[in-house]
Amino acid sequence: MRLHRLRASALQPPDASDWIVVVVRSLLLIMLASLVTRGWVWTDDRGLIAASALTLALVLNAIAVVTHWRGFSLRMPSLIIDAIWVWLWMAAVGEQSIYFMPMLVLIVIIAGMWYRLIGSFLTASLCGAFWLYIRHEASSIMAMQLWITLSSLSFIFLAALLSGYMSEARLYAEHMLAKYRQEMFASRYLHEHMTPKELPRISGWQLARLSRPARVVVGGDFHDFINCGDGSYAILLGDVCGKGIDAQIRVPTVKSAIKLGLKSNSTMRLSDALNIANGILVEELPEAFATAVILRVAQNDGCVNVASAGHAFTLLLRADGAVEHLRASGPPLGASHDVNYSDEQICLSEGDVLVVLTDGVIEARSESGEPFGIERLRALLCRLNGLDAHKIASSILEETLKFSARATDDDITIIVAKYLPELNSKSHDER
């Protein structure tokens, strides 16, 4: 099986880096061949060493040209054999070995690029030891030669340090990018699978929902439509603090705590449900908190119960164009033990619209850094008076994206409920 994979990889077409290696090694092969034809081999006792270096270099580069041309890279063998023939040649030339210093530095840099900091320093140590041996064999180390030798050694290890650091930085960047992509995938997956697939159909109400994840990291927005069992529905919208996978893994706990509060609450008071959920989250998520708002709507009934835990982005657009801002009745869930939330009941007339959204709209910023803000949203709702629920939601989203040059750093979730008592159940969903 291993031999089969090696054969398969050897038949892969070369990429751009392989072609560069082929071209460079082909030029080196031509240069080495020209040295042989010119008889550039010493006649003294170093002639055998020079001939061995030339032969090894010729064979290596010929093999490397063929293998890289076939798209099959041999990193470690190439590095070792390149070092051997360069060292042999340096041993052969003696005093002229100073001219081979760039080749040693190149080998150290390549080792750093391929095998990071440890590999570059190990290679630099071997090259430095060999360099000292060559300089010692070449001649006695005088004062000037000592300075040259030490400078050369410093240059070799400096190249190793820089090459190793660059390789470590590249590896760290690749690791962080892979981790970021993995978290992005996981957070988006969780976000999609924890989002209700369909909107409920409630007689007398026109519902619309729009949801857009952040451009970079998905936040902690969540929403749900909970059947209360008596013909009414609880519309839940909230935001868990944080972003990415850390926020998304807290969403199920927050939603489950709120649902448990609703189901274990015989009085159907939304504030009691929030009190129960807050007690659970203080124990289960002591270092996190979440804002949430619950609206309980019934079939063909304009009276809506509202309870909010730190969520201040609920607005009521009256049919006459007036805009009311519903304030939060308590702090975020999980922020404190001693909290008592309260219910508020509002009565809607025909054509009135409830708009519930997350802070992705309010905190969207223009290119100059100016936030969209609650006042700009109020003015926008006044202009949207009389439109259906979906048109209102889509217009809010479009204006927010236009204001922020279509770049948002936080999730945007918008739920619009328009009271139309003569209308059969109708909803519009765009997630």
- Domain residue spans of the chain: 2-184, 200-430
Predicted confidence at residue 236, as pLDDT, reads 93
341: which residues sit within 8 A by CB, 6+ positions away? 270, 271, 274, 275, 278, 307, 308, 309, 329, 330
pTM higher than 0.85:
no
Predicted confidence at residue 154, as pLDDT, reads 77
Predicted confidence at residue 314, as pLDDT, reads 92
Predicted confidence at residue 143, as pLDDT, reads 44
**DSSP secondary structure string for all residues of 64-97:** HHHHHHTT---HHHHHHHHHHHHHHHHHHHGGGG
Q: Mean pLDDT per segment of 10 residues, for the chain of length 431 residues?
A: 45 58 74 68 60 74 75 70 72 66 77 78 81 67 58 76 79 80 72 79 92 73 86 90 77 87 76 90 83 92 92 90 88 86 92 92 88 92 93 94 80 92 60 53
CATH of 200-430, picked from 3.30.1370.60, 3.30.460.80, 3.60.40.10, 3.30.390.10, is 3.60.40.10
Can you say whether the dihedral through the CA atoms of 238, 244, 247, 249 is positive or negative?
positive
- Give the integer Cα–Cα distance in Å for 25 and 42: 24
Q: Which of 8, 61, 1, 13 is nearest to 33 (CA)?
A: 61
